[in-house]
Amino acid sequence: MQILHFLSLVFELLISLVVWLLLAPLLPGIVNKVKAWVACRKGPRLFQLYYDLAKLWKRGVVLSDLASPGFIAATAVSWIAILAAALLIPLGPVNSLMSFSGDALLLLYLLALSRFCTSWAALETGSAFEGMGTAREVSFAILTETALITAVLTLALKSSSLTLSLMLTPTPGAGTLLLISGLFAALLAESCRVPVDDPNTHLELTMIHEAMILDHSGPLLAASLHGAAMKLLLFSVLLVKIVLPLGELSGIESTVYLIAGIVLVCIAVGLVESFLARYAFKKVPLFLTTAFLFCFFALLTAWKGFAQ
């Protein structure tokens, strides 16, 4: 009996690792396909990021003379922190690996750790552009993290627990609508998508996240790109699990709904990227404050129960 339990644990770990590691690079591919379709182009292949990652993995690393070993360590820690955060989230039929009271807080802290390490690695290179990108990323992150913390508080208040598997159950009402809008804006900001940052830009002066990884090369760049894709998947799963009651469905149904939901989120991101231009830096705080306010009003409705 003990062995069976152990085997099922190992099996679940393998499945979630496969999902998070192997399926995450598909999401930017879907977003790019949607953008290409809207613009009536053919666009890059769906699996383009896989080819890019494989190519980068084979290449050597060029290191700045100023960089200490911390440059490599920080990039690695940043990637591992995102993976660890992802493993905390229950995926439809597969339970999360570790589920304990307070894992929602751990999720927030792991995301913050990942950002801290990316910023650290960026500053290690000693380049002015990296410093500029870091300053922007960190100052916008203050607002995004406020929105995220408020969203987690809202979910905690609604379910009166701090366990992610219990918190991620949808409740109907106006509050959920507010929360979805706020979280979607936070998703766009966290995964460096269009109204906040442009993943395709090649002009250093307008970059945010891309400016931080300008001096990363080879496997380190692969880790950064893969980490960003995992972050996008993580936030899409969060968003889908807040909307759809996956816990009440059977295994296959919930998997299908989860995948459909994630694809829908990607399509929404692609449509936003196609129809919106990147905001000027002055306007980004306003956008993120709006996201925070959406989450905050969701918190209020969860707390006071009005507007129901």
**177 or 267: CB nearest other proteins:** 177
- For position 174 contacting other proteins by CB under 8 A, the verdict is yes
| Span of 28-36, 92-100, 254-262, 287-295 interacting with other proteins by CB under 8 A | 287-295
CA-wise closest residue to 261 among 57, 58, 68, 27: 27
Q: How many Å from the N-terminal Cα to the C-terminal Cα in the chain?
A: 48
Contact by Cβ (8 Å): 274, 34: yes
Shortest spacing between CB 283 and other proteins, in angstroms: 8
Q: What is the CA radius of gyration of the chain?
A: 19
CA atoms within 13 A on the CB side of 42: 3
Does residue number 300 form part of the binding site for other proteins (CB under 8 A)? yes
- From residue 255, alpha-carbon distances to 60, 230, 262, 270 in Å are 39, 18, 11, 23
Q: Which of 45, 55, 59, 304 binds other proteins (CB under 8 A)?
A: 304
Of 94, 118, 296, 302, which one interacts with other proteins (CB under 8 A)? 296
Q: Return the closest-CA partner of residue 261 out of 241, 280, 286, 232.
A: 241
80 binds other proteins (CB under 8 A): no
Residues 6 or more apart in contact with residue 173 via CB below 8 angstroms = 301, 308
276 near other proteins, rule: CB under 8 A:
no
Region near other proteins per CB under 8 A, out of 23-31, 79-87, 201-209, 293-301: 293-301
In the complex, minimum distance from the CB of residue 290 to other proteins, in angstroms, rounded to a whole number? 7
Rounded to whole angstroms, how far apart are CA atoms 28 and 221? Answer: 16
Under the binding rule (CB under 8 A), the answer on residue 277 touching other proteins is: no
Q: Which is nearer to other proteins, 45 or 283 (CB)?
A: 283
- Nearest CA to 205 out of 144, 135, 272, 271 is that of 135
Query: Backbone phi, then psi, for 200, in 5-degree steps?
Result: -100, -5
State which of residues 293, 295, 298, 302 lies at the interface with other proteins (CB under 8 A): 293
Residue number with CB closer to other proteins (71 or 296): 296
Q: What would the x/- binding string for other proteins be over residues 133 to 172, using CB under 8 A?
A: ----------------------------------------
Q: Which one, 264 or 293, has the nearer CB to other proteins?
A: 293
Contact residues for other proteins, defined by CB under 8 A = 174, 283, 285-286, 289-290, 293, 296-297, 300, 304, 306-307
